[in-house]
Amino acid sequence: MSDAQNDGANPEKDLSASNLPGQRGDAGEEIRVQRGMFGANNGGDTSGYGGLVRSIRLPGEATRPYGGWFDEVADELEGALEEQGLVPENAIDRTIVDRGELTFHIEREHLERVARTLRDDPALRFELCTGVSGVHYPGDKGRELHAVYHLRSITHNRLIRLEVSAPESDPHVPSLVAVYPTNDWHEREAYDFFGIVFDGHPALTRIMMPDDWQGFPQRKDYPLGGIAVEYKGAQIPAPDQRRSYS
């Protein structure tokens, strides 16, 4: 381990980070500082990267022009919402362009209307939603739970993302099953593993964990667990009981 790691240096701020993947420098919003490879703090870090310190940042809001067809989609969406009597700024919290992807962060109370507009407007025609993914950012206070939707336009051969957030204290997001029926099982999975409650879902139930299971296993604050593994003449302890290298 290098002296910089021993000193707790942050490679995004204190070292040359040009050869590190996925660095945003000082751009975007810092939601926490991660120590170790995977950010686990309630068990032993057995990865050998316990001295790694790095900023976890959400990408910052983009400014126009976004480039390529991104501006066309943004203009068409804002115009279609205005035609419905909805001020675009009230529905679209911010627009992100990051790593070649266009993401609209939507206020959750307007999610269904925005999704329906993206599906039905002739200039947009995002006919297919390939699913919803849950994300948990414990350090993103007041919006710890995120739901991310991938929308594809078969007509125009385009791919965008919608993202909504909700606090852990009120983990409710409108269901999009009525707009995109293929989201049925994806919303159940996000509910099962992240605890996001999709209001209006026809039958929101756990699909992997037992019905009486306590907690949501893919949240970042879910405790490490496991059982000890026994071999002839030796025993390997459960993950949460192994020694730490940090």
Question: What DSSP string runs through 49-97?
Answer: -TT-EEEEEEPPPP-S---TTHHHHHHHHHHHHHHTT--HHHHEEEEEE
Indicate the pairing of strand 92-98 with strand 101-106.
antiparallel
Residue 72 has pLDDT above 70, yes or no: yes
* More confident of the two residues 14 and 42: 42
Residue type, 59: P
- Looking at the chain, the whole-number percentage of residues with pLDDT higher than 90 is 59
Gap between the Cα atoms of 135 and 190, Å rounded: 9
Q: What is the pTM of this model?
A: 0.79
What pLDDT does residue 35 have? 77
Residue 188 has pLDDT above 60, yes or no: yes
* More confident of the two residues 3 and 108: 108
Q: Output DSSP code: residue 181.
A: G
Q: Are residues 172 and 107 in contact, defined by beta-carbon separation less than 8 angstroms?
A: no
Average pLDDT in the chain: 85
**Cβ neighbours, 10 Å, residue 206:** 15
- The verdict on whether omega for the bond into residue 237 sits within 30 degrees of 0, i.e. cis, is no
Q: What is the mean pLDDT of residues 146-171?
A: 97
